Amino acid sequence: MKKILACLLILALGLGLLAGCGSGAKPAADKDKTYLLKIGMVVTEQDPMYLGAMELKKNVEARTKGKLKIQVFPSSQLGTTDDLEEQAKVGANVAVITDPARLARAVPEIGILGAPYITDNYDESRKLATSKLFQGWADKLQSHGFHVLSFNWYQGDRHFLTNVPVKEPADLKGLRIRTPGSPIWQGTISAMGATPTALSWSEVYPGLQQKVIDGAEAQHPAVFGAHLHEVIKYITKTGHFQLMTGLVCGEKWFSTLPKEYQAILLEEAVKAGDFASKKTLDGLKDYEAKMKAAGVTINQVDIAPFKKATEVVYEKNKLVDLRKQVNEVLGKK
């Protein structure tokens, strides 16, 4: 009988220990374990997004005493944005600077941040990207395998890049314009009269050079960084997208971090996004001056006709009601 009672006691203690291990409690940071996050992006080392990622690396490694290491890979070294999203989704230790239009394939509502003329400037874009409304959409991404570290990485407003002058939407008719392959972005370019053509960013320069495409649309830092001013004659400042992007990693990888490191990474990602955004804003005039000096004509046009042409995008993508919610956040009628 004593032996039986002893065995039962040992079994009970063992079950208690197992229950404690499965309680879901997150351990404190393991002093001996190191973690690595690889950040990939399509832009070059001169781009504000790269500089922001390097600022993130510096601050996160300092606060974690080197236990959470970050490596930054510009110029598509780790693959395209779509490639990196897929890697993150399945649990790889990667993060990517990505846009809301791509993430809309998982959570449609988030795509409105990349809809045409949804915001008019950086301040409005940041207000939306840091709102409770946006956070609700970001939370939904977790069930699709993504974790938004921050979404306040402003890359500038996007304009048309062509070799023929563009003054109104009719001038875009028949032009093959490179734009990312998301439905909202392609629908926007189509609504303005052009033929949207999906190419990876690294293929835009040779595509323009070899006349595979007639033009593209992008923000100044990316245009200058990719030397596109060498193969275009005109930049038409339509500002059809305010490109507010985010730093996104995989939910599987993020959940392996101790809570202490999770908090540090989230806090520093917001700070780094603001750092990168300021670099963008401070450099826009300089980019324009350099591209003008290289022979590019930069035209300011009346954007009212372009805005009117893109109204159909909200209807086709069933974003009319969601746009009203966004306007409430922004204090617009």
- pLDDT value, residue 15: 38
Region 31-60: mean pLDDT is 95
Residue 31 pLDDT: 63
Length of the chain, in residues: 333
Q: Is the pLDDT score of 27 beyond 80? A: no
The mean pLDDT value for 174-197 works out to 95
Q: Are 114 and 182 in contact (CB under 8 A)?
A: yes
Does the pLDDT value for residue 286 go beyond 50?
A: yes
User: 21 falls in which pLDDT band (50, 70, 90)?
Assistant: very low
Tens digits of per-residue pLDDT, 195-243? Answer: 999 999 999 999 999 999 999 999 999 999 999 999 999 999 999 999 9
pLDDT band, very low/low/confident/very high, at 28 (cuts 50, 70, 90): low
The pLDDT of residue 8 is 39
Q: Are 313 and 186 in contact (CB under 8 A)?
A: no
17 in any annotated domain = no
pLDDT confidence band for 12 (50 / 70 / 90):
very low
Q: To which H or E segment does residue 103 belong?
A: helix 100-103
Q: What pLDDT is stored for residue 295 in this prediction?
A: 98
User: What's the pLDDT at 3?
Assistant: 44
For 9-13, 155-159, 205-209, 299-303, which range has the lowest pLDDT when averaged over its residues?
A: 9-13
- Any domain includes 298: yes
Tokens of 112: 């409105």
Residue 160's SS3 state is strand
CA dist 201 and 196 (Å) reads 14
Q: State the Cα angle at 273 between 269 and 277, rounded to 5°.
A: 175
In a domain, 3, yes or no: no
Determine the Cα–Cα distance for residues 108 and 315; give it in Å rounded to an integer.
14
Which range of residues forms the domain containing residue 267? Answer: 33-330
Specify if 11 maps to a domain.
Answer: no
Q: CATH number, domain at 72?
A: 3.40.190.170
Q: What is the mean pLDDT of the chain?
A: 91
Q: Is 66 exposed, middle or buried (0-12, 13-18, 19+ CB in 10 A)?
A: exposed
pLDDT of 30 higher than 50: yes
For residue 83, being part of any structural domain is answered with: yes
Asked if the structure places residue 14 within a domain, the reply is no
**What long-range pairs does 316-324 form, CB within 8 A, spacing at least 24?**
316/187, 317/108, 317/111, 317/115, 317/183, 317/184, 317/187, 319/111, 319/112, 319/115, 322/109, 322/112, 323/112, 323/115, 323/118
Confidence (pLDDT) at 32:
80
Please indicate, yes or no, if residue 5 is contained in any of the structural domains.
no
Say if residues 125 and 154 touch (Cβ distance below 8 Å).
yes
Residue 18 lies in a domain: no
- The pLDDT-based confidence of 1 (bands split at 50, 70, 90) is very low
Per-residue pLDDT at 46:
92
The per-residue pLDDT for 26 is 47
Which tens digit of pLDDT belongs to each residue from 85-139? 999 999 999 999 999 988 999 999 999 999 999 999 999 999 999 999 999 999 9
Based on the structure, what is the number of domains in the chain? 1
